[in-house]
Structure 1
Amino acid sequence: MSSLKFLLSQYLKLKQTSKTASTSGFTLIELLVAMIIAALIIGTLLSFMLNIVTTDRKEQAKSTSEQELQAAIDYIARDLAQAVYIYDADGISRNTNTDPALSGIRNQIPPAQPTAGCNATPTCEPIVVFWKRASLPRDLPVTSGSNNTTIGCLFKLSNGTTCSEQDQFVYSLVAYYLIRDNSTTTNWSNAARIGRFEIRDGIRTTDTSKPSRVEVIGTQPSRTVNYLLLPSPGFMPPNLSLAGDLKARMNQWTKHSAAYDTGVDVLADYVDQSTTAPLPFTCAAPQRIPPATSTTIPNSFYTCVDSTRNLAQVYIRGNALARFNKVPPFYSQVQSAYFPTTQIQVEGRGFLNAR
């Protein structure tokens, strides 16, 4: 009898425990509170992670921009080091004029004389223009004018079989531009960029069987000139026989009548397009290009030129944020770290036989 009572009591305890377990759990309010706390924690973590990813992207873009800007300014510096004459603001801003003191070359170069990559004045602004000596390698292929065959070098020795071992040097005109066309048809960004234009002279010869072209220099009568290697279309050498100082003579340069077929090649992309950003340094040279008073041309790429000393300061500011923004942001003091800058001063060491 006592055993039966014991089993009955154990059965009732087990039944009560099972009933309690089956009815235990969280209330709706407890679940809602837990979900809110979880959402706050997860949201904070996601925000933190997104911030880390965004900062990393910005730092990578900044590093890339710094490297590209440095490469660009190093290239420009090497180019300018060979300069024989650097145009100041007078030469770049003025058109050809009969008065040498008022003359310039603006209407002789792109975009006034349009070419691929630079054919509109509001979007393609010349910043630094200079003459330099360009090297032509001795093994440059040239087509013979007599039998239309290709010879292996510019010059041959008397036996007609062996190339001479000397490179040739000619004058060339180089211009760097700030381009802002915001074109969606190109592979470039909607930010500004730097373009380079160069036309060079040819190799003249007295052999009338070689290619020729008609030239007019200043007021001199037209003449037919034969070439082993033709100049770039549109190229004419400066007329150094004119009166006046070197600046007056170089500012009276005019192109050949042929249209340019040399385009403006992009040297660097993602250049800042802001017009109101502060200037990082003032010009030690007499003239700034473009003028400091300009409110329409971005001050992210400019030069300070002393044409008398053949000296130029070059400044470039990039826009790293434009690398992942469809609409490039303008400069702001808060984000100034992502607008890297670089600058250099160069003295042209070339020599022009006109002094």
Structure 2
Amino acid sequence: MKKPLHKIVTFLKRKGILRLPKSRHSQGFASGFTLIELLVSALIASVLVSIMLAFLVGVLESDRKETVKTNAQEELQAAISYISDDLQEAIYIYGAAGIVGINDKLPHTQITNPSSECNPTTNTCTPILVFWKRSAFNPDATARYSANATSEIIGCMPYGDTPASSLAQLTACRANSQANNRAFGRDSYTYSLVAYYLKNDTANPVNSGWSNTARILRWEIKDGYVAYCASPVPNGSASITKNPATNAITSPAGCPAVANLSFRANSPLILLPIPLADPNVYFVLPSTGFNRPDFKTDGGLLSWQKFDNYDFSANPFVTLVDFMDDTDFNGTVQGGNAVATGTIPAATGVPRITIGRNDASNRNLDCDDPSVGVGTTDPVNNITQRVPADFANSDGSNPSRLSSFYACISPNTVTARIFMRGNAIARLTSPAIDRARRTPNVNNITFFPTADVRSFGRSQIGLGK
């Protein structure tokens, strides 16, 4: 019995499964760690953990910076693409001289019922792009009659609801549009006045909801949808009319109901030689202040008058992009303050402005160059201009005092080259990093993404030669 038991114990010892207690003598020589060894080990572990944490924090911070730079570049590119697409519908773009001609009619200069975004009191908005574009009323879209705020499919507005035959056509028009087919009404083209601004937001309160750097704003007023009769009537033809003396509207049987029609009173601002009257009857009234321009000559465009004081609650400034660079213009550092010579202006720092100032006759040789500006094949008749004309003129052409959004314009050929510069450093914290710490220099210039694009209007009114 002892022999098998001995074999089992020997086997367990060999495998390390069974360990017998050591004698007191052998326990005195047991191995272990001293307190100093433990402290040294803890110190080494702490150093390694600190190094790893610092590395991890550095990686995360680097990733965060790259992310804000990427976001800034993407937003800048999206904004400039949107503006370029908008300009493709332009039929006339105001140059620097043209903006001066209508400056007191533009929204940022209005004293009566001014906008909270851009007004003469704060004087922080610079008009960069001001142009007339062709707009359309989509027949399948829905709009409200100005007369009673009732919604209707735009293409179905020209159909009457009496007699029964007209109502049948109106019902069929609605059904056709709702079935994803084209509404019966014809396309109705009109005009819009659009303005893009660079606004200096540095003075905005922290809780304004914006970055307190600079923004690009868009503002638009649009012509109305002139009423007409599309239904066949007993006499074979009919038209909607307005009595100029009484403003009474007449709409024959089978045509849209008078209750759905509107008119504009005479202009309270254009009084000479006689008060300006609008003879049209509308389904949808023009934007308040809209006045159809005289496209026959550039003189008519340069002397455009607004019909009434603007309603900024109905036609507000809309922010296109935030976090534009709000570095004050410095001609010595950035260039762009000397008269354009056709070569890139000298600059001692960053960012560099590639287009010089307009000359005394409001021409710009840098903008004439297609490699940096819009280009022109006839600089005598089709001049080019930089907007704003003078970055340093904060009381005139550049109230924002900034240079992060500007353009070369060829008014007669409806061509523009747009330049934009963002500020990614301001995105690193909320609220934005103090302005003095986000100024561009050679070490952080990668945080100031730029974009430029040349855009051509698809239509023009024949002023070019």
- Scaled by the length of structure 1, what TM-score is found? 0.80
CA-atom RMSD in angstroms: 3.0
Letter in 2 for 1:281: T
- Is the 8 Å Cα contact of residues 213 and 426 (structure 2) preserved in structure 1? yes
**Which structure has the highest strand share of the two?**
1
Are 2:285 and 1:230 equivalent residues in the alignment? Answer: yes
Letter in 1 for 2:115: T
Q: Write the distance in 2 (CA, Å) between the matches of 1:106 and 1:251.
A: 10
Unaligned runs of 5+ in 2: 1-21, 161-165, 174-182, 228-240, 243-248, 250-257, 331-349, 356-365, 369-383, 395-399
Q: 2:34 aligns with which of 20, 25, 44?
A: 25
- Is the 8 Å Cα contact of residues 82 and 350 (structure 1) preserved in structure 2? yes
- Scaled by the length of structure 2, what TM-score is found? 0.62
- Is the 8 Å Cα contact of residues 87 and 456 (structure 2) preserved in structure 1? yes
Q: 1:156 aligns with which of 151, 155, 158?
A: 158
Which structure is richer in relative contact order (CA contacts within 8 A, separation 6 or more)? Answer: 1
Q: Write the distance in 2 (CA, Å) between the matches of 1:63 and 1:141.
A: 39
Unaligned runs of 5+ in 1: 1-12, 95-103
Are 2:126 and 1:125 equivalent residues in the alignment? Answer: yes
SS of structure 1 residue aligned to 2:191: strand
- Is the 8 Å Cα contact of residues 201 and 231 (structure 1) preserved in structure 2? yes
Are 2:325 and 1:272 equivalent residues in the alignment? Answer: yes
Instruction: Count residues with an aligned counterpart.
Output: 326
Q: 1:194 aligns with which of 209, 216, 220?
A: 216
2:88 alignment counterpart:
81
What is the Cα deviation at residue 190 of structure 1?
Answer: 1.9
Written as runs of structure 1 = structure 2, the 5 A alignment for 1:214-225 is 214-216=265-267, 219-222=272-275, 223-225=277-279
Are 2:79 and 1:57 equivalent residues in the alignment? Answer: no
Change in Cα spacing, 1:230 to 1:220, as seen in structure 2 (3 Å) is farther
- Is the 8 Å Cα contact of residues 204 and 227 (structure 1) preserved in structure 2? yes
What is the Cα deviation at residue 185 of structure 1?
Answer: 3.6
SS of structure 2 residue aligned to 1:90: helix
Written as runs of structure 1 = structure 2, the 5 A alignment for 1:1-355 is 18=27, 25-27=34-36, 37-92=44-99, 94=100, 104-113=101-110, 114-119=114-119, 120-139=121-140, 140-143=142-145, 145=147, 150-153=151-154, 155-157=157-159, 159=166, 161=170, 162=173, 164-181=184-201, 182-205=204-227, 206-207=241-242, 208=249, 209=258, 210-216=261-267, 219-222=272-275, 223-225=277-279, 226-240=281-295, 245-246=297-298, 248-261=299-312, 262-275=315-328, 276=330, 277-279=350-352, 281-282=354-355, 283-285=366-368, 286-291=384-389, 293-294=391-392, 297-325=401-429, 326-328=431-433, 329-352=438-461
Q: Write the distance in 1 (CA, Å) between the matches of 2:136 and 2:444.
A: 43
Change in Cα spacing, 1:213 to 1:231, as seen in structure 2 (3 Å) is same
Letter in 2 for 1:228: F
2:4 alignment counterpart:
none
Change in Cα spacing, 1:152 to 1:15, as seen in structure 2 (3 Å) is closer
Q: Write the distance in 1 (CA, Å) between the matches of 2:82 and 2:317.
A: 15
